[in-house]
Chain A
């Protein structure tokens, strides 16, 4: 952008700015600053996420142990895992755990949101009380549940026995099915508020005119819900489900604190199994392979959910 120097009337001052000012102006516009601003985040991501991720992939292809770097064995771990009973059980556990937790959270969350959407008194109190399970660090609240499920002193067993519903205590953590039930229950207890509050916000954002129009058209409450409310909330629900699924599949805290994966590996999730084998057991390569399994599973789940979001969102 060299201007022509032939016009005598025009001053030259502007156009022969010395280099620094020119550079500053160019920098400002070309937004080289963009790169500077993103640099810290990129450093964190590349050094602490991307690089370890690649390293995890590499580890999973070796038979590394703690202390030794092991030899390259290709996809051997993966083949072994797929034939390993415990691993297959873990996969089943992960899917069961995630499926039931998320489903319960959606259904109960939606119900709770509908309740909160009514004109109730003390709404702030209810909202505050309901959010508490989500706010409390789940490592700490899970300890509370651990106590409540204690084989000897479980408060639930005490109450149920005294009411006369049962004779012996429920084996909350020692029976595989009850153990899965227990971890799911804690996950739902913890995650339900998030669903409820988010969906409540969604409900509030639906224009009231739509419901009024539906009423005039003759729809009752139930029809209103299924034909108007639910479709409009679909994008929101799917986003929440997406995030919840990701966090539930990769959950570590609840299972680790409550059962360490037992009894008989019936509550092991990929993360806890990987911890047990990789760190407690020292088999880094195998541990890495187990935890990496999460990634394709997640990708598949995310892919399907995103596809449904694309299809389902009729508004915008």
Chain B
């Protein structure tokens, strides 16, 4: 090897791949550890002399996962989360498409104000609103039901999705709509037949993000729902698998991993959409 290529290898190896691999290790280690924990028997888990970084074949078990499904209402929680996330995402996306279309295409008095309102709402953190929302939810008689979540999730899903969709719709040339109008569309037709099909990437993106946000919520489900059968996944795992001082770590980790699967699956299949969604908003 010539000196040149050796120093190149050094430079690339040490300067670039090493830090990258270190970072990947940092990023993935918690997940690896969670996985291991969920498949180790309790004996090995709580034995301080055992190496927590590895697992011997003899110590493998699926009892933690079994526990989730037999001893807890995990499948119910999973179902609840799915129902709530899918429904609230669907509602929010529909609302956002309409709002984004209005903001990017329609000229009417107050369109600027409307845009500012959406932006400001985006900035209002949802941990600020939960106290008064408990009152609103109880007035609507929705406390302890999944509907309380379906109704309140749009508060943080809509501003974000609208903003994302606006970014996409702005890139559609106006002439396409003018052409459609001359061809015979009214505004609603335009939206449904032209804008939506062309914005599909943006809509997929917004849907993915909205679903992830809804799936991840802890605060609202904690606050609005108490009965165990109505809990969503995040709250269920947190409250039911920690009984007093006893943490069922194996099942906790198993439940956490299982709970992450839907979102991670979406991510794996739609990775490019995720990335473009993250960057679209920022780069505008």
Residue A33 is within 8 A (CB to CB) of chain B in the complex: yes
For B24-58 the 0/1 string (1 means CB < 8 A from A) is 10111011011001000000011010011100000
Which of chain A's residues 52-85 have a Cβ closer than 8 Å to chain B? 52-53, 55-56, 59
Which of chain B's residues 146-188 have a Cβ closer than 8 Å to chain A? 151-152, 154-155, 158-159, 162, 181, 186-188
Q: Which stretch of A4-12, A99-107, A128-136, A170-178 is in the interface?
A: A128-136
The smallest C-beta distance from A106 to any residue of chain B, in angstroms, reads: 13
**Residues B238 and A239 in contact, CB atoms below 8 Å apart:** no
Chain A residues whose C-beta falls within 8 Å of the C-beta of B128 in the assembled complex: 53, 56, 250, 271, 291-292, 294-295
The smallest C-beta distance from A261 to any residue of chain B, in angstroms, reads: 13
Bound Cα distance from A56 to B107, whole angstroms: 34
Q: In which size bucket is the chain B interface? A: 35 or more
The smallest C-beta distance from A234 to any residue of chain B, in angstroms, reads: 13
Known contacts A37-B99, A302-B123; decide if A59 and B260 are in contact (CB<8 Å): no
Known contacts A32-B108, A53-B124; decide if A240 and B129 are in contact (CB<8 Å): no
Chain B residues whose C-beta falls within 8 Å of the C-beta of A300 in the assembled complex: none
Residue A213 is within 8 A (CB to CB) of chain B in the complex: no
**Residues B19 and A44 in contact, CB atoms below 8 Å apart:** no
Bound Cα distance from A189 to B114, whole angstroms: 36
Q: List 29 A-B contacts (CB under 8 A).
A: A28-B181, A32-B108, A37-B101, A37-B102, A41-B118, A45-B118, A59-B131, A59-B132, A112-B20, A115-B16, A127-B271, A131-B267, A135-B263, A135-B274, A136-B264, A139-B218, A141-B31, A143-B238, A144-B31, A153-B45, A153-B249, A158-B51, A201-B283, A252-B218, A253-B219, A274-B127, A275-B130, A291-B128, A298-B125
Question: Which residues of A come within 8 Å of B, CB atoms?
Answer: 24, 28, 30-35, 37-38, 40-42, 44-45, 47-49, 51-53, 55-56, 59, 111-112, 115-116, 118, 120, 126-133, 135-141, 143-145, 147-148, 150, 152-153, 155, 158-159, 189, 193-194, 197-198, 201-202, 205, 236, 239-240, 246-247, 249-253, 256-257, 270-271, 274-275, 278-279, 284, 287-288, 291-292, 294-295, 298, 302
